[in-house]
């Protein structure tokens, strides 16, 4: 996804005429690539991961909060992007590419893999990462 945004940023900075059909088609293709990659990765994986990582006692509330956060963020980005493009031009796509790179790095190094694990095993993965409880002195 970040690569598609970087391609758009690069294409918008090149000296090719803005009326160039090749440039326009290339930018459109990068938008389609971004959409397709998101549809198979970041989009659905978010919902599955949220449903897997929380304990049963708070799962419904946590998934609802995650869903609301996702939709609000998407709405905010959709509303702000035209203004950002007017203010930053191609730079907004460079920012989106950078955010994608940071997000992918964080997901790879910080989030534990849940593939082929039971909900109990996933719960233990996150229990180990939780802060230890303070002992009573009594």
The pLDDT of residue 76 is above 90: yes
The pLDDT of residue 14 is above 80: no
This prediction has a pTM of: 0.71
State in words which class domain 2-128 has: mainly alpha
**Residue 35 CA from chain centroid, whole number:** 12
- Name every residue whose Cβ is closer than 8 Å to that of residue 34 and which is 6 or more positions away in sequence: 1, 4, 5
- Position 131 confidence tier, pLDDT thresholds 50, 70, 90: low
**92 CB burial (10 A radius; 0-12, 13-18, 19+):** buried
Q: Which two tokens stand for residue 29?
A: 């293709």
The pLDDT of residue 129 is above 80: no
The mean of the pLDDT values for the chain is 83
The pLDDT of residue 36 is above 60: yes
């Amino acid at each position: 996804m970040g690569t598609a945004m970087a391609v758009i940023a690069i294409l918008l900075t090149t000296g090719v005429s803005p009326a160039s059909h090749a440039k326009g088609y290339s930018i459109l293709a990068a938008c389609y690539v971004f959409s397709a990659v998101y549809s198979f990765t970041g989009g659905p994986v978010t919902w599955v991961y949220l449903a897997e990582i929380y304990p049963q006692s708070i799962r419904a509330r946590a998934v609802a909060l995650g869903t609301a956060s996702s939709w609000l963020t998407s709405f905010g980005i959709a509303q702000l992007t035209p203004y950002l493009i007017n203010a930053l031009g191609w730079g907004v796509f460079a920012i989106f590419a950078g955010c994608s790179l940071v997000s992918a790095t964080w997901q790879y190094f910080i989030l534990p893999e849940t593939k082929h694990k039971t909900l109990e095993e996933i719960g233990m993965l996150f229990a180990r990462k939780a802060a230890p409880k303070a002992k009573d002195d009594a």
